[in-house]
Amino acid sequence: MTTTPDFIVPANTITPANQPDTLQPQLAVSARNVVRQFGQRKVLDGLNLDIKAGEFVALLGRSGCGKTTLLRSLVGIDQVSSGTLTMAPQRAAVFQEPRLMLWKRAWRNVALGVRKPNLKQLALDALAEVGLSERAEAWPATLSGGEAQRVALARALVREPQLLLLDEPFAALDALTRIRMHQLILALWQKHKPAVLLVTHDVDEALLLADRILVLADGKVAAEIPNTAARPRHADDPALQRKRRELLGLLGVEEAAPFVASSAEASQPITAHTPPERVAA
Ligand SMILES: Nc1ncnc2c1ncn2[C@@H]1O[C@H](COP(=O)(O)OP(=O)(O)OP(=O)(O)O)[C@@H](O)[C@H]1O
């Protein structure tokens, strides 16, 4: 039996019957009262979320809180149980593992499932964008972890996504490669401007990359933190450090430090949708 690889996304709306499915043009994602349950257990439970076109959003939350479940629904490889989830039609995903077809050369992996004229050239162009022109003919087994993940990124790029879904794509990489991947993803985002939803466990990664950071808890977006610091960002920026402490507090990792606003950027409000003690529970 052949299965569809899960980076090949079905089209656009995961909507139970009789629900509206229109997406306003300025949005890449609209979720209204989304529930996803497994048996009696509601992993997503009345989740509401908008992601604007071109916005870079990071999603944090404790292990098992439902981040991947939400992402899989947005990719279109899982159904929600109720509510309305509407997404931009052009989507692509990159996961923690590159998920390459080992029997296809790098460029063929990039082109897989795409129907466009001049496909090989498009795949080669995407590989050039991630700095892998010279590995286009390579077999996946001969690529390093970072190279394989860049092929996965090229595979996403060639689809020209309006919504790029990233599920811990840097988690398996060494620290230096991760920094390079951060720079690459930012450069690609600034050039192509897709909306991005990045699932990560790494608070610093979220702060360095995202415009807005969401904390998922109890099946909902429990808090959101705007993060419009100028780029390039540095982890030792006091405004980012304050947000870091606040995020760790929301995640129950450390005591939440009081949020002291000392600049216009730092004074943007943290919107707590749920009391912190409930997030940490
Ligand atoms: N197909 C499934 N059947 C039953 N339970 C599932 C299924 N998929 C996910 N779950 C459960 O839903 C919960 C949320 O899983 P999910 O993978 O979304 O969490 P997560 O926040 O991404 O976790 P992590 O940070 O550890 O990757 C978990 O308890 C998981 O066991």
CA of 265 to the centre of ligand 1 (A): 35
Q: Is 36 in the pocket of ligand 1 (CB under 6 A)?
A: no
Name the residue at shortest CA distance from atom 8 of ligand 1: 69
pLDDT in tens, the chain (281 residues): 344 455 544 444 444 433 445 788 799 999 999 999 999 999 999 999 999 999 999 999 999 999 999 999 999 999 999 999 999 999 999 999 999 999 999 999 999 989 888 999 999 999 999 999 999 999 999 999 999 999 999 999 999 999 999 999 998 888 898 898 999 999 999 999 999 999 999 999 999 999 999 999 999 999 999 998 999 899 889 999 999 999 999 998 865 444 444 444 444 555 666 544 444 33
CA of 45 to the centre of ligand 1 (A): 13
Q: Is 22 in the pocket of ligand 1 (CB under 6 A)?
A: no
Name the residue at shortest CA distance from atom 30 of ligand 1: 64
- Token readout for 242 is 């304050």
What tens digit of pLDDT does each residue of 159-169 get? 999 999 999 99
State how far the alpha carbon of 118 is from the alpha carbons of 121, 122, 125, 225, 233, in Å: 5, 6, 11, 42, 38
Q: Is 68 in the pocket of ligand 1 (CB under 6 A)?
A: yes
Q: Is 146 in the pocket of ligand 1 (CB under 6 A)?
A: no
Name the residue at shortest CA distance from atom 3 of ligand 1: 38
CA of 237 to the centre of ligand 1 (A): 34
Name the residue at shortest CA distance from atom 17 of ligand 1: 68
CA of 43 to the centre of ligand 1 (A): 8
Q: Which numbered atom of ligand 1 lies nearest the CA of 78?
A: 1
What tens digit of pLDDT does each residue of 102-132 get? 999 999 999 998 988 899 999 999 999 999 9
Q: Is 67 in the pocket of ligand 1 (CB under 6 A)?
A: yes
Structural domains in the chain plus CATH codes = 23-90+201-280 (3.40.50), 94-160 (no CATH)
139: how many CB neighbours lie within 10 A of its CB? 14
Q: Is 39 in the pocket of ligand 1 (CB under 6 A)?
A: no
Q: Is 30 in the pocket of ligand 1 (CB under 6 A)?
A: no
Q: Is the pTM of this model over 0.80?
A: yes
ipTM of the predicted structure?
A: 0.97
Q: Is 38 in the pocket of ligand 1 (CB under 6 A)?
A: yes
